[in-house]
Amino acid sequence: MSSRKLWLTLVMMAMASAASTQPTISRQAGPMMGQGMMGGGMMMGSMVRHHQAMMYGIPEPYRSVRNPLTHSDATLRRGAQVYAENCAACHGPKGYGDGPAGKRLSPRPADLAWLSRSQMVGDRYVYWTVAEGGQPVGSAMPAFKASLSQRDIWAVVTYVRQDLGARPR
């Protein structure tokens, strides 16, 4: 294991430990400490996903996928529409993991606004997450590979990665 992977694994384990001893963390603590991130959202199902990706890489067949869409206004509009129809109920309209349907879930939905600004993930990671959903990592997120076209998944990936990260808190 490389020293970078070891370091990231240790950091994530420390974060998980801190999250389990502090179950209620105020949203005022910052983007990484909000309810959708450390407060049960990203730290549970998404933490497992991050750990898997860091230790073993993104699973096949997602390792070689490439976003075929341009980062155009049309792509962002389509991505926003797909997001509103399929993601916002749980992840919230701005991607903070605070949607009304997500409030009943455990683990809570990930803070996609923070995730989109993160250097830790790329398009392939987000595509894998949307396509496969949360079942492999113990979250309630549905898999969208059977209900959305590849183009629509790529459009929402582009929207999440480009637009949600640009929104101020």
What structural domains does the chain harbor?
1-169 (1.10.760.10)
Q: What is the DSSP string of 105-138?
A: -SSPPP-HHHHHH-SS--HHHHHHHHHH-SGGGT
Q: Average pLDDT over the chain, rounded to whole?
A: 77
In this prediction the pTM is 0.71
What pLDDT score does 150 carry? 98
Give the pLDDT of residue 160: 93
CA angle 150, 43, 163 (to 5 degrees): 45
- DSSP assignment of 130-167 equals HHH-SGGGT--PPP-TTTS-HHHHHHHHHHHHHTGGGS
pLDDT tens, 122-152? 899 999 999 999 988 888 999 999 999 999 9
pLDDT winner (highest mean) among 9-18, 23-32, 35-44: 9-18
